[in-house]
Amino acid sequence: MDPFSFASSEALELPLNVKIVRLEGEQTQIPFSTLIKRPDLRHIGSNISPHSDLYLTVQLWADSKPLTVPVRTPYKSFKNERKWGNWLTLPVTFNTLPLTAQLAITVWDVSPAGGDGAQGHSIPFGGTTFPLFDKENTLQKGRQLCHLHRRKAADGLAGTSTPSSLPTRRSEKNGKPENEVVGKEQEEAERLEKLLKKHEMGEIPRVEWLDQLVFRNIEKQNILSSSPSAKSLQRHSKTDGDITTLDGQVEADIEDEVFTLHIELPRFDFPVVFSDHEYPPPPISSMQHLSSSQNNILKPPPAVYFGPGVNGEPNDGSFGGRLVRIYDPEVGSRDNPAETKHRRLVRGHRTGAMDRDLRPNARFRDELNQIVGSPPTHALSPDEKDLIWKFRHHLTKDKRALTKFVKSVNWQDNSEARQAVQLLSKWTEIDVDDALELLGPSFDNSDVRAYAVDRLRKSDDDELLLYLLQLVQALKFEHKTPNSSDEPKADSSLAQFLIARAAKSFMLGNYFHWYLMVECDDKSAGQPPQYRKLFAKVEYDFMLELEKTSTGKETRKTLLRQAEFVAVISKISLETSVKGGPTIAKKTEKAKQFLVDPKNELINIDPPLPLPLDPSILISGVYPEETSVFKSSLSPLKMTFRTSSGRHYPIIFKTGDDLRQ
């Protein structure tokens, strides 16, 4: 199979242009007697002059819907022929065109008296609808011929009544329909037009002397065919029959007037095939909003078996009793109104007093234990939520059940939310890992998050240090400020708690500072600007809080020295990690020279500096002779530092790493 080169339409980010070339055709003259009785026809421009002033409008349609506003040609006065030669630009690009896109082109005539389909002082002279993609889903290009439907505006609907291709008439002979030949002249014109397109696109070799002879013969043929065509149409109108006007006069059928509009589309070196981005379908159900009556929506339809002699498929082609599966994207995304009403009644004030004395039996106790013991990623069903709510007072003795209880509450219901907040203070004290879950993205209620922060206040520094990275990440999920911005709050209870504890402990403050700085420097796609702004504000508040402590100024100086230390090492790491650079030996030698350079102040560090990765380690210098560069894509740098106690402390530094790892 020979290779075939083509381009996809979604790769064309170019505006859609169409050139209006000229209009060809002869108009049947209206008898003078008819003009006397029909004054509305007397002042139509095309009835006065065969080369009257006309203008065109082009509009893009698809699936029976307009996609753009009409674009109009500028005014032009005609002398011997109706020729525009203007390029029109539509406000749409090729990569956004649907497969059913088509151009609705209407030629407008001047009529001061108005008429059918008039717009102001203009009436349709004719219209045509041209599809932009052919039957092979290939974008049309080059010169095109469009048949003009007289006195009709272009119809942009899917089943258009004004197609651009010349309709084939059908007649009956001996009671059987047969196709009537359009005419040898018309067939010859279409054949020559196809050959001219291939010649323009370079598909036919160019021979200058032969091309000139062919073009002259084509021009002569067009001139000779123009006059006989009108005569043949008149003969055809006589044989096919006449039409009668409202005045009782017999006129030639205007449908027999053959007008052809010549347009031109942009040309491309390769065929352009339609292609579109395939979007994934929306989820057919949402487990978080799934109601109990919707548990079976994803099950297959029940099987239907027909008894003996019962035909399941009717022969008449009717619908019958067949089961049809219909896709509804709203199923599962919205709660069942009946279930919502039932939940409100079950969780109302009237049942609140009775629920305090409820105790689960053996079956309910087993179900509750299974729910409470489920992992945090388990999505509770509506029945499980109702069961937890029913025995909520009994579950206050189980610290593991608090997170499940918070998930079962409808926080949009003020009455239900108020009851849930009152129970938080009565619950058994939860563990730190459960408090971290309450600070996650699934819980945006301020009272719940404040309760989790109160639990963290009882933790010591060592326990808090284990979860400090996760707590810094949880700042992204703090509730938003009401009635104002869409950004998380930088002065939330969690932020204030972390700042206060980090200012009192250098160990916590060191890690807290560097976790924040890494988030501020993260410019990846997963870190929106509002998050970087949030962490920068928290870092600023942390520095202000340090100023209020007795050792705050010394802590800030130490953090500044650490930042300068990391910047110096990052510089040499960037130079040694350049791809395609010197060999590993040369990179190692360059790194050693960099460390020995007294400008970098790494040989002797006085006073000793707490290592950012571990503030308990105080480094007082570096051993350049033990430095090496690993053979890897990023060329990691191994350095050995001298601690204040005199022992060697090796580390690996690689550009692209951050302290969150």
Answer whether residue 182 is part of any domain: no
For residues 266 and 356, membership in a common domain is answered with no
Answer whether residue 238 is part of any domain: no
For residues 51 and 157, membership in a common domain is answered with yes
pLDDT, position 171: 47
Strands 7-8 and 637-643: unpaired
The least confident of 137-141, 256-260, 286-290, 557-561 is: 286-290
403-412: average pLDDT: 90
206-216: average pLDDT: 82
d(CA 514, CA 510): 6
pLDDT, position 112: 77
- 196 confidence band (pLDDT: 50, 70, 90): confident
115-144: average pLDDT: 89
d(CA 44, CA 123): 9
Phi, psi for residue 389 in degrees, rounded to 5: -65, -35
For residues 350 and 428, membership in a common domain is answered with yes
485-498: average pLDDT: 74
Q: Taking the model in full, what pTM does it have?
A: 0.53
Dihedral angle over CA of 640, 644, 647, 653, nearest 10? -20
Read off the pLDDT of residues 312-354 as tens digits, 9 standing for 90 and up.
555 555 555 556 666 666 665 666 788 778 777 777 655 566 6
Closest CA to 655 of 600, 578, 593: 578
d(CA 473, CA 353): 40
Answer whether residue 367 is part of any domain: yes
What Å distances lie between residue 369 and 231, 372, 598, 660, CA to CA? Answer: 95, 5, 66, 36
Above pLDDT 90, what percent of the chain? 32
pLDDT, position 515: 93
Answer whether residue 558 is part of any domain: no
- Give the largest CA-CA distance in the chain: 120
Q: How far is CA 354 from the centre of its chain?
A: 51
222-228: average pLDDT: 57
pLDDT, position 328: 66
Give the number of other Cβ atoms within 10 Å of residue 93's Cβ.
13
For residues 266 and 397, membership in a common domain is answered with no
The least confident of 480-484, 522-526, 579-583 is: 480-484
Among the three residues 494, 514, 532, which one is the final residue of a domain in this structure? 494
pLDDT, position 287: 43
Above pLDDT 70, what percent of the chain? 78
Among the three residues 494, 517, 550, which one is the final residue of a domain in this structure? 494
Read off the pLDDT of residues 71-112 as tens digits, 9 standing for 90 and up.
999 998 888 889 999 999 999 999 999 999 999 999 999 887
Is 80 exceeded by the pLDDT of residue 155? yes
- 305 confidence band (pLDDT: 50, 70, 90): low
For residues 341 and 431, membership in a common domain is answered with yes
For residues 262 and 341, membership in a common domain is answered with no
For residues 25 and 121, membership in a common domain is answered with yes
509-523: average pLDDT: 91
pLDDT, position 231: 46
For residues 46 and 163, membership in a common domain is answered with yes
Is 70 exceeded by the pLDDT of residue 303? no
For residues 393 and 471, membership in a common domain is answered with yes
Answer whether residue 399 is part of any domain: yes
pLDDT, position 286: 46
d(CA 452, CA 450): 5
Answer whether residue 643 is part of any domain: yes
Read off the pLDDT of residues 524-556 as tens digits, 9 standing for 90 and up.
887 888 888 999 999 999 999 999 999 889 999
pLDDT, position 248: 41
Report how many domains make up the chain. Answer: 3
- Give just the sign of the alpha carbon dihedral 519, 522, 527, 533: positive
Read off the CATH number of the domain in which 434 is found.
Answer: 1.25.40.70
Closest CA to 292 of 336, 233, 226, 232: 336
Strands 250-251 and 55-62: unpaired
Answer whether residue 69 is part of any domain: yes
When the pLDDT of each residue in the chain is averaged and rounded to a whole number, the result is 80
For residues 351 and 473, membership in a common domain is answered with yes
pLDDT, position 121: 80
pLDDT, position 291: 39
Q: How many residues does the chain have?
A: 661
What SS3 class is residue 505?
A: coil
The radius of gyration computed from the CA coordinates of the chain, to the nearest angstrom, equals 41
pLDDT, position 483: 42
For residues 261 and 406, membership in a common domain is answered with no
Read off the CATH number of the domain in which 613 is found.
Answer: 3.30.1010.10
Among the three residues 469, 494, 519, which one is the final residue of a domain in this structure? 494
pLDDT, position 575: 79
Higher-confidence residue: 301 or 647?
647
355-368: average pLDDT: 86
- 490 confidence band (pLDDT: 50, 70, 90): low
- 574 confidence band (pLDDT: 50, 70, 90): confident
Read off the pLDDT of residues 423-481 as tens digits, 9 standing for 90 and up.
998 999 998 888 988 998 888 888 999 999 999 999 999 999 999 999 999 998 886 54
Q: Record the tokens describing residue 359, joined without a space.
A: 């105790």
For residues 173-184, b (16+ Cβ closer than 10 Å) or e, as one string? eeeeeeeeeeee
Higher-confidence residue: 138 or 165?
138
pLDDT, position 283: 59
| Enclosing domain of residue 474 | 337-494
Answer whether residue 410 is part of any domain: yes
Read off the CATH number of the domain in which 162 is found.
Answer: 2.60.40.150
Read off the pLDDT of residues 40-73 as tens digits, 9 standing for 90 and up.
777 787 877 888 889 999 999 999 999 999 999 9
d(CA 373, CA 395): 13
For residues 343 and 267, membership in a common domain is answered with no
pLDDT, position 353: 64
